[in-house]
Homo-oligomer: A and B are copies of this chain.
Amino acid sequence: MKLDGANLMALARGTAVLGAGGGGDSRIGLLAAQQACEEHGPVELVDLDELPDDGLLMPCGLVGAPTVSIEKIVNGSEGERLRELVERHFGREVVALMPAEIGGLNGLQPIAWAARMGLPVADADGMGRAFPELPQSTLNVAGISPGPGFLTDERGTALVLHADSAEWLERILRRVTEEMGGLAASGDYILSVAEARSATVRGSVSLAMRFGRTLMEAQSDPVAALVEELSAHRLIAGKVIDVERRTTGGFVRGHALVQGLQGDAQRILRLEIQNENLIALEGGEVRASVPDLITVLDSETADAVPTELLRYGQRVMVIGFPCDPIWRTDRGLELAGPRAFGYDIDYAPIEELHAVAPV
Contacts and interface: CB of A to CB of B under 8 A. Distances in A.
Contacts of A162: 156-159
Given A171-B179, A175-B176, A175-B178, A161 B163 contact: no
B157 A172 contact: yes
Interface string A150-174: 0000011111111110001001100
Q: Is the interface of A mostly helix, strand, loop or mixed?
A: mixed
Interface residues of A, number: 18
Contact of A159 (B156, B160, B164): B160
A172 B179 CA distance: 6
Nearest to A160: B160
Contacts of A161: 157-159
B179 A159 contact: no
Contacts of A163: 156-158
A160 B175 CA distance: 15
Contacts of A175: 175-176, 178-179
A71 to B, nearest CB: 20
A171 B175 CA distance: 11
A161 B180 CA distance: 13
Interface in A226-278: none
A164 B172 contact: no
A53 B96 CA distance: 43
A279 B185 CA distance: 41
**Which of A157, A164, A180: most chain B Cβ within 10 A?**
A157
Interface in A113-161: 155-161
13 contacts: A156-B162, A157-B161, A157-B162, A157-B168, A157-B172, A158-B161, A159-B162, A160-B160, A171-B179, A172-B179, A175-B176, A175-B178, A176-B176
Interface of A: 155-164, 168, 171-172, 175-176, 178-180
